[in-house]
Amino acid sequence: MTISPAPRVAVIVVAAGSGTRLGQDAPKAFVGLGAHTILRHCLRGVFAAPEAQVVIVAPAGREGEALTDAREAAGSRAALVSVVTGGDTRQASVSAGLAALWPSVEVVLVHDAARALTPPAVFERVIAAVDRTGWGVIPGLPVVDTIKRVEGQQVVAAVDRSQLAAAQTPQGFRRDVLEASYAVAAEEFTDDAALVAAAGHQVALVEGDALSFKITTPDDLARARSLAVPVAPVSAAAPDRGLMPRVGVGTDVHAFGGEGALWLAGLEWPGEAALSGHSDGDAVAHAIVDALLSAAGLGDIGTHFGTSRPEFAGAHADAFLARTRALLGEAGFDIVNVAVQVQSNRPKFAPRRAEAEGVLSAALGGAPVSVAATTTDGLGFTGAGEGVQAFAVALIRPI
Contacts with Mg ion, residue ranges (CB under 5 A): 17
Q: How far is the CB of 17 from Mg ion (least distance, A)?
A: 5
- Interacting partner of 14 out of ligand CTP, Mg ion, none (Cβ under 5 to 8 A depending on kind): ligand CTP
Q: How far apart are CA 59 and CA 227, in angstroms?
A: 26
| Sign, Cα dihedral of 314, 305, 278, 373 | positive
- The reply to whether 348 sits near ligand CTP by the rule CB under 6 A is no
Classify 91 as helix, strand or coil. helix
Judged by CB, which is closer to Mg ion: 30, or 391? Answer: 30
- Interacting partner of 105 out of ligand CTP, Mg ion, none (Cβ under 5 to 8 A depending on kind): none
Please give the helix or strand (H or E) that residue 181 lies within, else none.
helix 175-184
- The reply to whether 190 sits near ligand CTP by the rule CB under 6 A is no
Closest CA to 140 of 120, 160, 126, 158: 126
Q: Are 392 and 251 in contact (CB under 8 A)?
A: yes
Chosen residue from 45, 86, 136, 242 binding ligand CTP by CB under 6 A:
86
Q: How far is the CB of 10 from ligand CTP (least distance, A)?
A: 16
| Sign, Cα dihedral of 84, 188, 115, 59 | positive
- The reply to whether 93 sits near ligand CTP by the rule CB under 6 A is yes
Judged by CB, which is closer to ligand CTP: 214, or 225? Answer: 214
- The reply to whether 377 sits near ligand CTP by the rule CB under 6 A is no
Chosen residue from 46, 52, 70, 113 binding ligand CTP by CB under 6 A:
113
Q: How far apart are CA 231 and CA 330, in angstroms?
A: 18
Residues 41-80 within binding reach of ligand CTP (CB under 6 A): 57
- Dihedral angle at the C-alpha atoms of 315, 316, 321, 324, nearest 10 degrees? 10
Judged by CB, which is closer to ligand CTP: 168, or 324? Answer: 168
Angle (deg, nearest 10), helices 175-184 and 90-98: 130
Beta bridge partners, 12, equal: 55, 110
Contacting positions for ligand CTP (CB under 6 A): 14-22, 28-29, 57, 86-90, 93, 112-114, 214, 216
